[in-house]
Amino acid sequence: MTTYKIPVIPGDGIGPDIVTEGMKVIDSAGEKFGFDVEWIEYPHGADHFLETGELISEDTLKELSQYSAIYLGSIGDPRIEPGVLEKGILLAARFYFDQYINLRPIKLLNGVWSPIKDKTPDDIDFVVVRENTEDMYIGIGGRSTKGASSKILEVNRNLYSAKFNLDIETDSEEIAYQIGMISKEGTRRVMEYAFELAQNRSKNLASVDKANVLSDIYGFWREEFESMSSKYPEVKTDFNYVDAITMWFVKNPEWFDVVVTPNMFGDIITDLGAMIQGGLGLAPGGNINPEGTSMFEPIHGSAPKYKGQNKVNPIATIWAGAMMIEQLGEQEASDNIVKAIERNISEGKVRTYDMGGTAGTSDVGDEIAKLVKE
C-alpha cells in the first residue's frame, strides 16, 4: 500500500474545523482505493505567532520542501494586523516553493444554485490558471514626499533577479507607487502549463490581459501567448480584456474551458468564478509547483467569528483535498470525492446553514466520507 506523508497547517479561525473534515474524507478514500496518509501537523498561524513571534521560518520551509503537497485550512486573525499572517506565511510559502500556478476549478455541481439564471452544470465547467508569483504581487513599491528621493527595489527568484534604481522627484505632497513586473521565464512556464491542460481537456484556451491600456506589461503577456500558441496548433485560442471577461463569465460561461491569466487579474476573476459556481463555500484552490511542493486550500477566509462552532461549510476544503490527491497521482480517488460532494449536495439531506440546511461541519464531513466508500 502506498503511504503519502502530507503536512497539514490547520491555521486560524475555522481552519482546524474544516481541514479535519478534509482529512477524514481523504482517509476514507484511501481505505477504498488502497493508499494511506500520514498527516504531519504544523502549528503556524495566529496563535503560534502570538506565542512565539514566529510566522514561518526558513528552517520550517526547508523541512516542508521534502513533501509534494501541503494541506492548508485558512490563515487570518483579527488580533493581528491585516496582511502580517498572509504575507508572512502564505506568500512566504508560495515564493519559497515557487508555486507559480494558482489553479481554480470553476465548476457548477448538480444541486447547487447559481446566481446566473438558466445556467446548468453543463454551462459552468472551466479552469482558471493564474500566474502566482509575479505581476503587481512581487511586493515592491513605496511612498515619497515632496522633493527628491531615491530607492533601490529588488526581486530575487529562482529563475532570475531584477533590480530597480529609482530616482524620484515630485512636487506632490505625497505619492505612492507599486511596481508590477512579469518575466519571459515566468510567463512562458504558466502558459505552457495552461496549454498542456487545455490540450488534455477541450482544446480551448482563453488568455486575459489589459494590453489596450497597460500595453507594456500586458502587451508583453499577449506577445508571449501568441508566440507559444504556435507550438500548440490544435488548441483554439482567444484574447480577452479583463473587464470584458468578467462580463462573459456571467453572460456566457459555457464559452470557457481553460483560462490563463496574469496574477492580479486572476485574483479578481476567480472570486467572480466562485460566485457563479455557488459561492465561496464551494471554491477550492491549489498553489502548484508541478516539479516541487504544492499547497491546497479553500479560497475563503478564516471566518474567526465561527471558530470552533462546528457550523461552516467544509466542502471547499474537502474539494481542495481532492485536488491535492489528484496532484499526488490518485486520480480515481479524487474523482470519487468530487462525485461524493455532488451526491451530498444533490440529495440535500446533510447541508450546512449556508446551503439551507441545519447540519454541522462534522456532519457534512461524515456524510461525504460515507458516500466516498459506497
Query: Which segments of the chain have a pLDDT < 70?
Result: none
Answer whether residue 169 is part of any domain. yes
**pLDDT tens for each residue of 351-364:** 999 999 999 999 99
Residue 144 covered by a domain: yes
> 199 — alpha (psi -120 to 50), left (phi > 0) or beta?
alpha
- 293 and 254, same structural domain? no
Query: Has residue 266 been placed in a domain?
Result: no
Does 325 share its domain with 229?
Answer: no
- State the pLDDT at residue 1: 84
For residue 37, being part of any structural domain is answered with yes
Are 212 and 298 found together in one domain? no
Last residue of a domain, one of 277, 301, 318: 277
Q: Note the pTM of the prediction, 2 decimals.
A: 0.94
Domain C-terminal end among 277, 308, 328 = 277
Query: Are 292 and 373 found together in one domain?
Result: yes
For residues 118 and 257, state if they share a domain.
Answer: yes
Structural domain boundaries, residue 22 = 1-105+281-374
Indicate if 129 and 153 belong to the same structural domain: no
49 and 75: one domain? yes
- What pLDDT digit, counting tens, does each position of 146-155 carry? 999 999 999 9
pLDDT of residue 200: 95
Position 347 scores a pLDDT of 94
Q: Which of 277, 311, 332 is the last residue of a domain?
A: 277
Distance of CA 247 to the CA centre of its chain: 22
Residue 305's CATH number: 3.40.718.10
Cell readout for 115 is 446566481
- pLDDT, mean over the chain: 96
Percent of the chain with pLDDT over 70: 100
- Looking at residue 156, its pLDDT comes to 87
Residue 256 domain flag? yes
Same domain, 121 and 241: yes
Q: Are residues 293 and 257 in the same domain?
A: no
The answer to whether residues 249 and 126 belong to one domain is yes
Split into its structural domains, the chain has a count of 3
Instruction: Say whether both 237 and 329 belong to one domain.
Output: no
* 73 and 101 both lie in a single domain: yes
Instruction: Please report, to the nearest 10 degrees, the dihedral formed by the alpha carbons of residues 166, 168, 173, 176 taken in order.
Output: -20
26-56 pLDDT tens trace: 999 999 999 999 999 999 999 999 999 999 9
